[in-house]
Structure 1
C-alpha cells in the first residue's frame, strides 16, 4: 500500500505524521530542549504534555492573558519551581506553541515539494493534510488563532507569518498548475486566502459541523472540490484518491451510525 502523500487517507497521514502520544511529545521536547533545564526526555516528556494540555484548558476557560503560572501550577500539580525548569514565562509558553505549529506545518505541507507531485495532487495533499493536522492539533491551532491579540508584538508577527507561509505553499501549487496549463486563476493570492479561511473553519466551528453531521473527510473533500471549481480544472480526479475519499466517507458514516 502506498504511503502519504501518494495515498491520501487519514490512516496514511497518521502513519507518516504521528501527532499524538509519546512520539509527538518527544518531538516537542526536541524542539524546546535548549531552553529547558530538564534534559532527560524520560522525565520531561510527561510533564510537557501536562503543561501544554493544562495551558489549553485554562486558555479556553479563562483566557491565556488572565491565566497565571500559579494557575498552571495548580492545574498540572507541578510546583512553581518545577514549572520554571520547563518554561521561563508565559511568553515562552506561547512562543513554543507557535513554534511547534509552525514547524509541523512546514514539515507536512512544505515538505511536499520533495515528492515531485502533479499540481492537483499537491493541492489535494495540502488541503487534506491541513485538515488531518487540525484534527490532531486542534488546541494548538485554536490557541494561535484565538490568543493572537493578547500576545506580544513579536509573537503576533510570528503567528501572522505562519498563516502567510501556509498561503504561500498553496499559491505555489496553484501557480504550478497555471503554468502547466491545468488551472486557470488570475488571483492566486486571493484564492489561497479564501481556502485558508475555509480550512480554519474546521477548528473554529467544530460545533457547527458536528451539529450538521459533517465529518473530517467530507469537509476536506468539499474544500478540495470547491478549489478545483475555482481553478476551472477540467481533468479527471485521481481515481485512487477519489476511491479513497469514498472509502473514508463510508467509514465515517459507519462510525457515526
Structure 2
C-alpha cells in the first residue's frame, strides 16, 4: 500500500512587497524570519520594534519595508515559516515508506527534530497568535491544521488496515500537542532527560497509545 499522499497546503496570506524579484524576496524573508524570531523571543512581540528587526537583519528600515508592510506581516511570516518547516519535514520523512507504523514513527521523529530546532518559535506561536488580526490568524491556524492533517492521513491509512486504534482526527490533534511539549515543557524536561531520551520516549508513548506496540507478558 502506498504512503498517504500529502494534502495540498492551503494558500498563504500574501505579504505585499515592493521588490518583484521572487528569489530575492524569498531570501530576504528568510533573513527577516531569523532576525524577527530572535528579537520577538528576547524582547516580546509588543515591545519589539520594526527598527530593531531591521538592524538585526542587516537592513535599513526603508529596506525592510520593501519586503513587508507592517509589523504584523513579520509575525505572520515567522509563524508561516514555522508551520511550513514542520509540515515539509514530515512530508520528506515518510516518502517511500509504505508501512503505517514506520510512517508514523518517521513522521514523529522528523517532527520532534524540527520542534527541537524551533522551540522558541513554537513557544512564541502559542503566546502570540492572539496578536494577529483575524485574516492573519485564520491563515496561520489553517496552515497549522494542514500540519496536523499530515498526522491524520497516516493514522487514517493505518486505521483502515487495522493497525491503529482510536479516532484518527482526535489522535492527530493529541499527537501534535504532545510533540509541542519539547518547547512548552522544556524548562522542566531539560533538567531531567536528554533530548534524545524525551523524543524516543514520546514516540514509544504515542505508538503504545495508538495500539501499534503490543505489550508483552508480565
Residue 72 of structure 2 is matched in structure 1 by: 91
- 1:34/1:152 Cα in 2 relative to 1: closer, same or farther (>3 Å)? closer
Give the superposed CA RMSD: 3.0
Deviations 1:115-155 (A, max 9, x none): 24211011101111111112223343333222101111112
Give ranges in structure 2 of 5+ residues lacking alignment.
1-13
Residue 122 of structure 1 is matched in structure 2 by: 103
For residue 166 of structure 1, the aligned residue among 129, 134, 147 is 147
- 1:40/1:228 Cα in 2 relative to 1: closer, same or farther (>3 Å)? closer
Spell out the pairing of 1:41-190 with structure 2 (5 A cutoff): 45=27, 51-111=32-92, 114-185=95-166, 187-190=167-170
* Structure ranking higher on relative contact order (CA contacts 8 Å, 6+ apart): 2
Is this contact kept in 1: 2:83–2:147, CA < 8 A?
no
- 1:235/1:149 Cα in 2 relative to 1: closer, same or farther (>3 Å)? same
Aligned residues: 202
Normalized against structure 2, the TM-score is what? 0.77
- 1:167/1:44 Cα in 2 relative to 1: closer, same or farther (>3 Å)? closer
Normalized against structure 1, the TM-score is what? 0.66
For residue 223 of structure 1, the aligned residue among 177, 180, 202 is 202
Residue 5 of structure 2 is matched in structure 1 by: none
Residue 191 of structure 1 is matched in structure 2 by: 171
Give ranges in structure 1 of 5+ residues lacking alignment.
1-31, 237-257
